[in-house]
Structure 1
Amino acid sequence: MELLPSTYKRLMLISPGEEDVEDAKIEVRETTMPGSLKMDEVLIKVAAAPVNPSDYGAWVRPASGEWKPKAIGNEGAGTVVRVGSNIACAVAGVKVGSKVGFTGLRSDQGSYGEYVVAPLSTTFVMDDSLPVEDAASFFVNPFTAVGILDTVASKHSSARAFVHTAAASQLGQMLVKLVTEVELINVVRSEKQAELLRELGAKHVVIVEDANDDADPGLPKLRELVDALGATVAFDAVAGAMTGKLVTFLPPKSTVYVYGRLDGDIKGVAPIDLIYRGKKLAGWYLRSYLTGDGVLATARRMSVAAAKVRAGLGRGGWCASTFADCTMATFWTTFLDIRNSTGFTDRKLRIRFAPEG
């Protein structure tokens, strides 16, 4: 058994930005190694952790009273170094030395650190042939892709097509590779992004540079494609004016799910569409999808998604991600450099930790 240190380092959100993530204060802090584990917990030596929009979206909040520094990061991958219960882990197929992806952390834990305590229920064993760092994005994007397609299939079984915005993202690329049963309309902001998706096999790509501009030439093209393909569902990661355009363009009794807010608060939704035309505007959140319909549904969805993701994580697989790597020490400068230059559309920032040995 590996001799564990008494302390370890992790990134902490010392204070959030009040208006912009650039104003947040994030530092490397040393903390005490966890003591005893609960029966349903494991201690993981972290190999890598991704930086998702859902992570840094939480680093901005209005000033309101006292703030206590908190651990950050929601998912990652590593090697199990200690278990709370040998019996519970044996049932789950987890053991010391297992390569795993993990998520669902307690509020005092974060994946941006050298070690983390993770629940056994949201710790997933990876194939030994897969480099463990490549499982860092095992959960958020791939499970969201599976969840979106399952939502379309189960709640909108008659849908012939659906719309996805911010479609050149890592998640959007996964959807292009995974979708088979319905037509997918991909909305992007540039020709470069459109070409990226076409190279992956996307059949329907529309460029909308600015949904706030009613003269944007992509808007009528989007409307025409919605009509031609009979799209009745949309998943919107952009919000802002885009949500209003989607509600307007989709036919009566359609549903627009909002699962991100890249452009801020929703604009331009006409009440008449919701009241008289039976259109629905709803939120879509991965954890709610996984856990919102009871224990049995949660177990089924987790199992189905995990199996699909494991099969697609290898190089060239449907959910393999493109990463830009950094360390804890270089994290903040690298994050800001990418955010303020190229953005994260074609790659995901990944924090790498010291390899074993």
Structure 2
Amino acid sequence: MQRFNWKINMQHQISDAKALQLRSVITSDGQVVLSLVKEPIPALKPEEILVRVEATPVNPSDIGLMLGAADLSRAWTADGADGPQLGAPVPAAALQAMRSRRDASTAVGLEGAGTVVAAGSSRAAQALMGRTVAAMAGGMYARYRCIPAVECLVLPEGTTAAQAASCFVNPLTALGMVETARSEGHTGIVQTAAASNLGQILHRVCLADGVPLVNVVRSEQQAQLLREQGARFVCNSSSDDFREQLTDAIAATGATIVLDPIGGTSGGQILSCMEAAIARRPGQVISRYGSDVLKQLYVYGSLDPRPIEIPRDIGTAWAAGGWLLLRYLKVVRRETLDRLKARVAAEITTTFASRYTRSVSLPELISPEVLSTCARPATGKKFLIEPWKDC
């Protein structure tokens, strides 16, 4: 009975409330400005629900949307009407690439989780009242979010919002990449930045599914982290014999696809080792065009902002392209996506668990210290936003 009354009281409290929300804009004079603003909560359509957002992660994609190429070393702060503001100049060379966002205020936060506190009249929406759900609806750096019920992932009873906050981006990226590799006929995978939150999830998926995986990291500490989690093939790019380690691991696993969030020279170097490993196969014919085994590189990030380089010692049987979760979700079959989402919900505290080093409120996020830390990719430095913290 107490839980029922709580829901009624909460609905009454939000009936004429405004939702605090984080927004980003690039001004006409070349400044990125982050602001907390209060937006009216819209009337729910029959198929929609209202989520009290209780946890939402800071992903690299969120940092990109918030800040773009802004120079945080020259950041300034101010008091806005609804909360703090933070601004930083965008270098002139980067403004042209961001012209589509000029003077367009954008809600931030790709994914998050919370409790359904109001629902439209449809049966599907009403069935979610009081449940913990996760969504990748955008605009999740807010205290409330109106979302179509069909877009939500319903979590098992007892799942907390913090456990469910990262249900979409990293889990579905890992699962989508494995599905892509399988559909293209690859039986072994190489991943770079393997000690990242996503890298560790991909490792756990491949371990559970019996997919041979080569993990590339940049320090012995990261290598040890993955070995303690059961990784068999871990190659440290800072080692003097890295190329030999990597070629041996690729030969042992038969990996022919690279998943790379770095860019630059990273993926091309692995394709080169891949061609060398293929040449070791018994009976493998190598012509002046190289091997006839297709080697695939997918780049899904840009930790190295320099141009992507592909060496010329990889033969001609290779392909390179980008991989983006948002596009994958548009082209994947509905039954496949439903299967992947069901697996995430069932394994959210095991295979797809995310760990956070710090939780912050919405006002705390808008500080040079916090944003500077978030903007520097580092193993084990993932932030969680709790929009109702300190309220």
TM-score when normalising by structure 1: 0.84
Across the aligned residues of Structure 1 and Structure 2, the Cα RMSD in angstroms comes to 2.7
Per-residue deviation, 1:200: 0.8
Encode CA deviations 1:16-35: one digit per residue, 9 max, x unaligned: 8x99xxx743222222222x
For the 8 Å contact 1:208–1:218, the answer to whether it is kept is yes
Q: Counterparts of 1:97 and 1:344 in 2: how far apart (Å)?
A: 36
Residue of structure 2 aligned with 1:124, choices 153, 175, 189: 153
Q: How many residues align?
A: 330
Q: Counterparts of 1:85 and 1:249 in 2: how far apart (Å)?
A: 58
1:257 and 2:298 correspond: yes
State which drifts further: 141-150 or 328-337.
Answer: 328-337
1:170 and 2:170 correspond: no
User: Which stretches of structure 1, 4 residues or longer, exceed 6 Å deviation after superposition?
Assistant: none
Residue of structure 2 aligned with 1:28, choices 27, 33, 36: 36
1:102 and 2:129 correspond: no
Q: Counterparts of 1:222 and 1:344 in 2: how far apart (Å)?
A: 23
For the 8 Å contact 2:268–2:311, the answer to whether it is kept is yes
State which drifts further: 249-258 or 163-172.
Answer: 249-258
TM-score when normalising by structure 2: 0.77
Encode CA deviations 1:254-300: one digit per residue, 9 max, x unaligned: 11111111112443214685xx622010211112222214xxx1x21
1:71 and 2:107 correspond: yes
1:9 and 2:20 correspond: yes
Tell me the residue number matched to 1:86: 122
Unaligned runs of 5+ in 1: 210-214
* Identity percentage of aligned residues: 31
Are residues 337 and 266 of structure 1, via their aligned partners in 2, closer, same or farther at CA, if it must alter by over 3 Å?
Answer: closer
Tell me the residue number matched to 1:212: none
Are residues 218 and 24 of structure 1, via their aligned partners in 2, closer, same or farther at CA, if it must alter by over 3 Å?
Answer: farther
Per-residue deviation, 1:217: 3.6
Encode CA deviations 1:171-223: one digit per residue, 9 max, x unaligned: 111122221322110011111111111111111111114xxxxx954233223
For 2:180, the aligned partner's letter is T
Secondary structure of 1:268's counterpart equals coil
For the 8 Å contact 1:103–1:118, the answer to whether it is kept is no
Tell me the residue number matched to 1:202: 231
For 1:100, the aligned partner's letter is V
For 2:382, the aligned partner's letter is K
Report 1:1-357 matches (<5 A). 1=8, 2-3=11-12, 4=14, 5-15=16-26, 24-34=32-42, 36-58=43-65, 59-60=67-68, 62-64=94-96, 65=99, 66-89=102-125, 94-105=127-138, 110-157=139-186, 159=187, 161-179=188-206, 180-209=209-238, 217-251=241-275, 252-270=293-311, 273=314, 277-293=316-332, 297=333, 299-314=334-349, 317-323=350-356, 324-333=358-367, 335-339=370-374, 343-354=377-388
For the 8 Å contact 2:361–2:390, the answer to whether it is kept is no
